[in-house]
Structure 1
Amino acid sequence: MSMMYQNEHSGCFNCDRSEKPQIEVKKIVKGDTGILSLKENEIVFVTEGRIRFVANDFSGCEGLKGQMLFLPAGGNYSFDALAHSTITVFRFYESIRLCDNFDLEKLYEERTKRNGYRAHTVRFGILDMNALLWHYLDGLNDLIAEGVRCRSFFNVKIKELLLLQRSFYTKEELHDFFSPILSGDTAFSEYIRLRWKNFRTVTEVASSMHMTHKQFYNRFVSVFGKKPQQWMNEGRARIIHNEIISTKKQFKQIAAENGFASDTHFTRFCKKELGKTPTEVRYGKTTMGDNVK
């Protein structure tokens, strides 16, 4: 079956022609590798093959056929296809809500209040796909293969995915799947994870949330366990490191895209946070984690 009126669909302002659409099906050849620097949360469904993901702190996991993986925003990941693989990627540009009446913060509250439960920190969330999710993905992937790229459609399908998870997985399973981003103040932490790169200073972030600097500072430290500027510097350093070693972008472009007013400021930042100048990082190929926490 072929989609009718292809030109009308492709010419619509709602057609998602971006490099990173909200939902994307990707085929990866065995042996392919790459580096991901995520600015948004992603859920990756492995519908064929086997892929290894490694985070910047060197924790890793393997996604097998029939599994979904949660990759939180703000992290750098490398991947290695251990077999010919097909994945469906969902990108969340806004905070995740399982439904209108159940946000992620409730998972944290309900799971941690149970007697004998010990909270644990993981880098990846993994769940097996049930029969309903397989059916859902088969239909979605067929439509994408036919050329459907509508943002409105993608928004509906993302809501449908979250509703399926909410309805057919236990709260304990969902807690463990989303645990990399859960906290006692998930709404606050997700706002920071998804938007911090839009601001140059801690004061700007605080103002955007209608908070004083002191209010923001105290709340940030209680959630992240670090000072805001330290956390932001480390996050920006990871992004810059990844772009220097895995792209051919000129340093001026990387500097401008990351909010640096001059080459001097950019170089000074790299020397402080990465231990080397941009040129030394690119041609010396430092290992992620040597200097970036």
Structure 2
Amino acid sequence: MPNTSACGATNIDCRSCPKATDNIIIYASHPRGFHLPAHKCEENILIFLLKGEVLVNSNEYAGTTLRAGEFILQAIGSKYEILAMTDVECVCYRFEQPRFFCETRYSYIANEVQPPLIYSPLKIKPEVQYFLDASKSYMTEAKICKELLAFKQKELGFLLGQYYTDYELSMLVHPLSKYTNSFQYFVLKNHNRVKTVEELAKLGGYTTTTFRRIFTSVFHQPVYEWMQERRCEGIMYELQHTDATISEICYKYGFESLPHFSNFCKKKFSASPRNLRTGKNTIPATAQPAHNG
């Protein structure tokens, strides 16, 4: 019989398939003395230690020894450092949002369940160990079928929800909620202080690529589109509800000249700045500012 893959193709290397995607469930091994310097997480990461001991240093796990059979979470935006005290093996799951975890339970834990004052690693329960052993055996490639990856993500979400209590899961949910909220606060507080996505990313200490990725996962919208919408809202408010001159508004929002500002308003709002200010030719209630411009 021919060697046929699950997707129906014959003798195909799944890593070169159009459905292949970057693997986010990674098996890794490191020698004693391996050191991961302190750095800011660009994604959420669950670290399941299969063998050995590592010393973890972060706000949540200050000077904590993580031992084989335990796991921790480090959330987007948090800082952590790792030192291997012995030869170690681990499975790491990197993700942006816990989308395969029950949203109702996540919300309940975030709002109703108090986390411990001192965080400690969680035990890897037998059902999760089976999952990790399987991941270690056949999910070792850098590229993997995205459908298989989605199944494994969903399976891990189910296992965590099924075999861990609300109190145990609070040590995962609260850091996720905390850093998500702090990122939102940073964006809302600072977006009007900058002119470009690059400037906002730099202000937060992120690379532009990382900032765009985190922003999309938190706000569910590309950052450029979001900033353009806020810019349009701000311009409209200033024109209709403040005494600032049109020139002041023009330069406040980064336009090089009044003609440039006027063209922008005509394109976005179908009216000149002066007519928007006086209420003439205002856009219909059903019209919405465009996202690009």
**Residue in 1 that maps onto 2:180:** 190
- Note if 1:157 corresponds to 2:152: yes
| Equivalent residues of 2:41, 2:78 under 8 A apart | yes
CA-to-aligned-CA distance 1:132-165 (integer Å, 9 cap, x gap): 1111111121112478722221222111111111
CA-to-aligned-CA distance 1:149-203 (integer Å, 9 cap, x gap): 22221222111111111111111111134332346xxxxx637649978x99524
| Equivalent residues of 1:69, 1:127 under 8 A apart | yes
Measure the CA separation in 2 of the matches of 1:195 and 1:158: 28
CA-to-aligned-CA distance 1:206-228 (integer Å, 9 cap, x gap): xxxxxxxxxxxxxxxxxxxxxxx
| Equivalent residues of 1:97, 1:103 under 8 A apart | no
**Residue identity in the other structure for 2:50:** T
- Give 4+ residue runs of structure 1 displaced > 3 Å after superposition: 2-7, 119-122, 145-148, 191-197, 254-259
- Note if 1:105 corresponds to 2:99: no
Cα RMSD between the aligned structures? 3.9
Gaps of 5+ in 2: 195-199, 213-293
**Residue in 2 that maps onto 1:128:** 123
When residues 148 and 194 of structure 1 are mapped into structure 2, their CA distance, relative to the original with a 3 A threshold, is farther
Aligned residue pairs, count: 200
**Residue in 1 that maps onto 2:97:** 94
CA-to-aligned-CA distance 1:31-90 (integer Å, 9 cap, x gap): 011234311111110011111121279923221100111111112222111111111110
**Residue in 1 that maps onto 2:217:** none
| Equivalent residues of 2:25, 2:135 under 8 A apart | no
When residues 63 and 142 of structure 1 are mapped into structure 2, their CA distance, relative to the original with a 3 A threshold, is same
TM-score, normalised with respect to structure 2: 0.56
TM-score, normalised with respect to structure 1: 0.56
Identity of aligned residues (%): 17
Which entry has the higher C-alpha Rg, 1 or 2? Answer: 2
When residues 168 and 87 of structure 1 are mapped into structure 2, their CA distance, relative to the original with a 3 A threshold, is same
When residues 167 and 79 of structure 1 are mapped into structure 2, their CA distance, relative to the original with a 3 A threshold, is same
Measure the CA separation in 1 of the matches of 2:104 and 2:170: 13
CA-to-aligned-CA distance 1:261-285 (integer Å, 9 cap, x gap): xxxxxxxxxxxxxxxxxxxxxxxxx
Residue 98 of structure 1, CA deviation: 2.0
When residues 145 and 108 of structure 1 are mapped into structure 2, their CA distance, relative to the original with a 3 A threshold, is closer
**Residue identity in the other structure for 2:28:** K
Residue 22 of structure 1, CA deviation: 1.2
Gaps of 5+ in 1: 113-118, 184-188, 206-228, 240-253, 260-293
**Residue identity in the other structure for 1:54:** N
| Equivalent residues of 1:51, 1:63 under 8 A apart | yes
